[in-house]
Amino acid sequence: MQNNVLILDFGSQYTQLIARRVRELNIFCEIKPYNKLPEDLSTYKAVVLSGSPYSVRGEDAPHPDLSQIQGKKPLLAVCYGAQYLAHFQGGNVAPSNTREYGRANLSFIKTNEPFFENVSTGSQVWMSHSDTIKDLPTNATLLASTNDVKNAAYKLEGEDTYAIQFHPEVYHSTDGKQLLENFLVHIAGVAQTWTPDSFVETTVAQLKEKIGTDKVILGLSGGVDSSVAAMLLHKAIGKNLHCIFVNNGLLRKDEFPSVLKQYEGMGLNVKGVDASARFLDELEGESDPEKKRKIIGRVFIEVFDDESHLVEDAKWLAQGTIYPDVIESVSATGGPSATIKSHHNVGGLPDFMKLSVVEPLRMLFKDEVRRVGASMGLDPLLLGRHPFPGPGLAIRILGDITREKVAILQEVDAIFINGLKDAGLYDKVWQAGAMLLPVNSVGVMGDERTYEKCVALRAVESTDGMTADWVNLPYEFLQKVSNDIINKVRGVNRVVYDISSKPPATIEWE
Ligand code: XMP
């Protein structure tokens, strides 16, 4: 890949954000742990050193040999990176006496510096560090200071090496993206050619080359990632892609037939497998959330394994893994920390796990997956779908699962979700759904006393599901949805709205 940028990760919570900002500039980049420096650096046009929770002076602190990079490639060192670079070059890093967290304002020491093009002195930056660079290396020139941090930005003479104590990647550094652009585009000369169209073109060509005439199996979930992965593979290998879409009986109302039809309409070679009865039978009587998840995971593997046997000579298993999953499974300090876990390996791994894995989206962030999907003409309704958990309604029915409860919850959920769509609220919400509570309460309908079920509606805003807040839906909307549910769904006489944030609550109730 031409025009690639390497981000060397020292374990900062913001490393992924650096990658996001670089991608927003239409520049491709990869994150590698600092101790897994690729042997071949020829494809990288520039390198960024990330921040870190470590102190340069700490015993276990990352101290990689930068001699392959520094002075040889344009280099931008951020926060810990800047401190380590100073240390590596003979400068002095020591604990700071002043508070160096939060907002600060840059004051330029050196003017006419290309790194500061289109950035004005006084620009707000975000600091987060407890050590400080007391003395710069002798070959360094100070570029900018803040009130509390003298050595806030510097460069090394005679090379394209820049270092900044603040975080350009965070939103609160108002000119952070401009600084990244100045460094990557104007100083390092990286071309801004990373676009969804270019990604589709190169990925399809690579997939063709890699897979040839082999057969590939892919499990579709109805979600964005597996659908976009399927379309890329479909473009590359056509009918040799065999998609399997399993109905576990815990999908939303009418989801199985409608999504299956949509997939067929996209030209995919897809087989719908209705295994509802198998899942629901196995779940009977089980109320423990984790056990429900395990049962569903196991049955899915069994069903998928059976189905994959029906595709003769399949060589590959395609997955919709995306970049955050890849990064999370690699720790900055210890290399890959997660390997495939399987409670099936007692009797040998399922056969599909023995296939080679192909993951066409493993370098993309979620919003990039959506943009790639859009550039291939995927239905915006499919691309804009809320996340839905793999175990489906099973973890939204608190307690044991019965077919009757599934049917009730499907009706309630459909009224809520369609209501959000009709009111133009669906796209303003990150995820929404209904929970069927193991609670009966007294109500009155007509002259009759009722003793029926209670449902909780949940709608949250979030960016990644890690933290979330409840959405302030209009009272009139909640009133209408509540009325519709109670009037139309037999067995429900009470609706409540969940106003808990995550943390301390979670998005799902189980
Ligand atoms: P929580 O409830 O942990 O959910 O706040 C965060 C996000 O993860 C989804 N979720 C799951 N997804 N299998 C999945 O595929 C699961 O077991 C599972 N549990 C939660 C949840 O819907 C939300 O988007």
Question: What string of H, E and C letters represents the secondary structure of 346-405?
Answer: HHCCCHHHHCEEECCCCCCCHHHHHHHHHHCCCCHHHHCCCCCCCCHHHHCECCCCCHHH
Q: How does pLDDT run across 26-79, given as a tens digit for each residue?
A: 999 999 999 989 999 999 999 999 999 999 999 999 999 999 999 999 999 999
- The pLDDT value given to residue 453: 98
Q: Is 243 a catalytic residue?
A: no
Ligand 1 atom nearest 462 alpha carbon: 24
What is the rounded distance in angstroms from the CA atom of residue 476 to the CA atom of residue 16?
Answer: 40
What mean pLDDT is predicted for residues 296-308? 95
Tokens at 295, concatenated? 């049962």
441 is in an annotated binding site: no
Q: Write out the residue limits of the CATH 3.40.50.880 domain(s) in the chain.
A: 5-187
Residue 342 pLDDT class (50, 70, 90 cuts): very low
- The pLDDT value given to residue 1: 57
Q: Write out the residue limits of the CATH 3.40.50.620 domain(s) in the chain.
A: 196-384
176 lines ligand 1 (CB under 6 A): no
325 lines ligand 1 (CB under 6 A): no
Helical pair 366-375 and 224-237, crossing angle rounded to 10 deg = 40
Mutate to test the pocket of ligand 1, among 502, 507, 509, 510 (most ligand atoms within 8 A of CB): 507
Active-site hit among 29, 30, 79, 129: 79
SS (H, E, C) 5-29: EEEEECCCCCHHHHHHHHHHCCCEE
Q: 204 φ, ψ to 5°?
A: -60, -40
Q: How does pLDDT run across 365-405, given as a tens digit for each residue?
A: 888 999 999 999 999 999 999 999 999 999 999 999 999 99
What is the rounded distance in angstroms from the CA atom of residue 161 to the CA atom of residue 47?
Answer: 10
Residue 337 pLDDT class (50, 70, 90 cuts): very low
- The pLDDT value given to residue 328: 57
- The pLDDT value given to residue 99: 62
Specify the residue with its C-alpha closest to ligand 1, atom 18: 389
Q: Write out the residue limits of the CATH 3.30.300.10 domain(s) in the chain.
A: 403-497
Q: How does pLDDT run across 445-483, given as a tens digit for each residue?
A: 888 899 999 999 999 999 878 889 999 999 999 999 999
Active-site hit among 30, 100, 129, 169: 169
Tokens at 507, concatenated? 């998005």
Residue 107 has a CB neighbour count (10 Å cut-off) of 13
Q: Is 386 a catalytic residue?
A: no
Burial class (CB in 10 A: 0-12, 13-18, 19+), 124: middle
Contacts of 406 (CB under 8 A, 6+ apart): 249, 250, 280, 393, 397
Is the pLDDT assigned to residue 179 strictly greater than 80?
A: yes
- Closest to 436 (Cα-Cα) out of 293, 287, 296: 287
Q: Is 79 a catalytic residue?
A: yes
222 is in an annotated binding site: yes
508 lines ligand 1 (CB under 6 A): yes
293 lines ligand 1 (CB under 6 A): yes
- The pLDDT value given to residue 369: 95
Q: How does pLDDT run across 78-123, given as a tens digit for each residue?
A: 999 999 999 999 999 999 877 677 889 999 998 899 999 999 999 9
Residue 479 has a CB neighbour count (10 Å cut-off) of 11
- Closest to 497 (Cα-Cα) out of 445, 421, 451, 437: 437
465 lines ligand 1 (CB under 6 A): yes
Q: How does pLDDT run across 232-285, given as a tens digit for each residue?
A: 999 999 999 999 999 999 999 999 999 999 999 999 999 999 999 999 999 999
Pair 92, 135: CB distance under 8 Å? yes
Q: Which residue has 């082999």 as its token pair?
A: 214
Query: Average model confidence (pLDDT) for the chain?
Result: 92
Specify the CATH architecture of the domain 403-497: 2-Layer Sandwich (3.30)
Specify the residue with its C-alpha closest to ligand 1, atom 10: 389
What is the rounded distance in angstroms from the CA atom of residue 49 to the CA atom of residue 90?
Answer: 18
Specify the CATH architecture of the domain 196-384: 3-Layer(aba) Sandwich (3.40)
Specify the CATH architecture of the domain 5-187: 3-Layer(aba) Sandwich (3.40)
Taking the centre of ligand 1 as the mean of its atom positions, its distance from the CA of residue 285, in whole angstroms, is: 22
What is the rounded distance in angstroms from the CA atom of residue 327 to the CA atom of residue 330?
Answer: 5
**The CA-based dihedral angle spanning residues 116, 120, 121, 124, taken in that order and rounded to the nearest 10 degrees:** -100
- The pLDDT value given to residue 340: 29
b/e map 203-236, b = 16+ CB within 10 Å: bbeebeeebeeebbbbbbbbbbbbbbbbbbbbbb
- The pLDDT value given to residue 494: 98
223 lines ligand 1 (CB under 6 A): no
